[in-house]
Amino acid sequence: MADDKFPGWHGTTIIGVRKGGRVVVAGDGQVSLGQTVIKGSARKVRRLNPGGNEVVCGFAGSTADAFTLLERLEKKLEAAPGQLARACVELAKDWRMDKYLRNLEAMLIVTDGKDLFILTGAGDVLEPEHDIAAIGSGGNFALAAARGLFESDLDAESIARKAMAIASDICVYTNGNLTVEVIGE
Q: Which of 23, 20, 19 is nearest to 112 (CA)?
A: 23
> Are residues 37 and 182 in contact, defined by beta-carbon separation less than 8 angstroms?
no
Kindly name the residue from 12, 13, 111, 174 that is annotated as catalytic.
12
Active site residue 68: no
Q: Which residues are catalytic?
A: 12
